[in-house]
Structure formats: C-alpha cells, structure tokens
Amino acid sequence: MFELIKPGTNFDFVGKNKFFVTLSTVLVLASIIVVFTIGLNFGIDFSGGTEIHLKLDRPVSTEQIRGIVEKSGYTKANILTIGNEQKEYVIRVAEYASLKESDAQNIRNMIFNEYGKDRIKKFKFSGESGDKIEIKFTEEVEPAKLKEFLVSKGIDCIDVKREGKTTEFQYLIILAGISKK
C-alpha cells in the first residue's frame, strides 16, 4: 500500500500560522495587482462573438481564409489552424449577429411596401441574436409566401414560422447566421 504521509506524522500548522497568513496575504495581493495591471484574457464565451469550425476537402492557406472572411465584412477575425494539413480551421469573429440594424430596417421597409404598413402591427428585430425578426400582421399571411418574398429580394431566409395564439398573426423570420455567410 502506498502511503504519502506516514502514520503518526505531525505537522505544526498552528505554530506556523503567522508565516502562512503572511504568505497567503502576499499571494492574494499579488493576484489582485496582476488582474488590474495585466487584465483578464476573456475567451469568446465571455467577450461575445461567433466561433466557426471549418473543415475543408483540400488545403487552403490561412491568408486565403482571412481574405474571404474580411471580404465578408469581418476585419478582426482570429483564424486558428487545426493540425498540419491546413484543412481544418477555427474562425473567431467579434460579431455575434449577421444582420445589422440598418439591414433589418431595409427588410422592414420591403415588407411594408409589399404587404402595406397598415397590415403590420409589430416589427421587432433583436440585435442580440441578429438572425431573427418577429413580425405581427393584422391578418393571416402564408409563411411560405413570406419566405418566398424575402428570398426573391435577396434575403438569406432559412424559415418563417407562425408563433403565438391562433387568433394572432405573429411570425418568426429566421435568417442565416454568420456561419452561413
């Protein structure tokens, strides 16, 4: 049997309490100073953004990936190569939404022009998710036709779903996210 500490061994922790309290205080103060001078390096979980795991059939350089990502409008992308073959990457961008407020307003105007401003009770774009729009009509609208309209206008619409009570004509428009871009 393996014994790390032999039976009957006594440690005098209480007798050395001043030393350990002093050591503990110094280490805690040093930690606080480091946090305030160097700061914390937050990962994508805390700083926000989007992480895309990309697997390719053929090798592509990091510069080519960066060029494509920058052309899509994401200038501060962090691109990591996984493995030696240059076929697998992790792309991190600070943005978490694929749709900007101005884009949502353009979609709103298109829908107003097509369906009439008076037929729309509510148009809500969530800047936090950036890929969903809630819209409430005064009367029923076929979700497939609304999706078809958006796609015909060049909007990358994944789906349109009816939500809420049957007496309310509320729909959720789901748009393509950053990873789809």
* Domain end residue (candidates: 93, 118, 152): 93
* 131 in Cβ contact with 177 (< 8 Å): yes
| pLDDT (tens digit per residue) in 40-69 | 876 656 666 777 888 888 888 888 888 888
Per-residue pLDDT, 46: 62
Domain that holds residue 107: 101-180
Q: How far apart are the first and last CA of the chain?
A: 60
What pLDDT is stored for residue 45 in this prediction? 60
- Nearest CA to 126 among 181, 177, 70? 177
Q: Are 83 and 105 in the same domain?
A: no
| Number of folded domains that form the chain | 2
Q: What is the mean pLDDT of residues 15-33?
A: 95
Q: Which residues contact 140 (CB under 8 A, 6 or more apart)?
A: 169
Interval 93-99 mean pLDDT: 67
Give the CATH number for residue 127: 3.90.1070
Per-residue pLDDT tens over the stretch 99-129: 777 888 888 999 999 998 899 999 988 766 6
pLDDT averaged over every residue in the chain: 84
Q: Same domain for 88 and 112?
A: no
Q: pLDDT tens digit string along 61-90?
A: 888 888 888 887 777 788 888 888 878 888
| Predicted structure pTM score | 0.53
d(CA 48, CA 31): 25
Q: Does 38 fall in a domain?
A: no
Residue 133 phi, psi (nearest 5):
-130, 130
On whether both 71 and 113 belong to a single domain, the answer is no
Please, which contacts does 48-51 make with residues 24 or more away whose CB atoms are closer than 8 Å? Answer: 48/94, 48/96, 49/92, 49/93, 49/94, 49/95, 49/96, 50/92, 50/93, 50/95, 50/96, 50/177, 50/178, 50/179, 51/90, 51/91, 51/92
Statement to judge: residues 129 and 160 lie in one domain: yes
How sure is the predictor about 178, in pLDDT bands with cuts at 50, 70 and 90? low
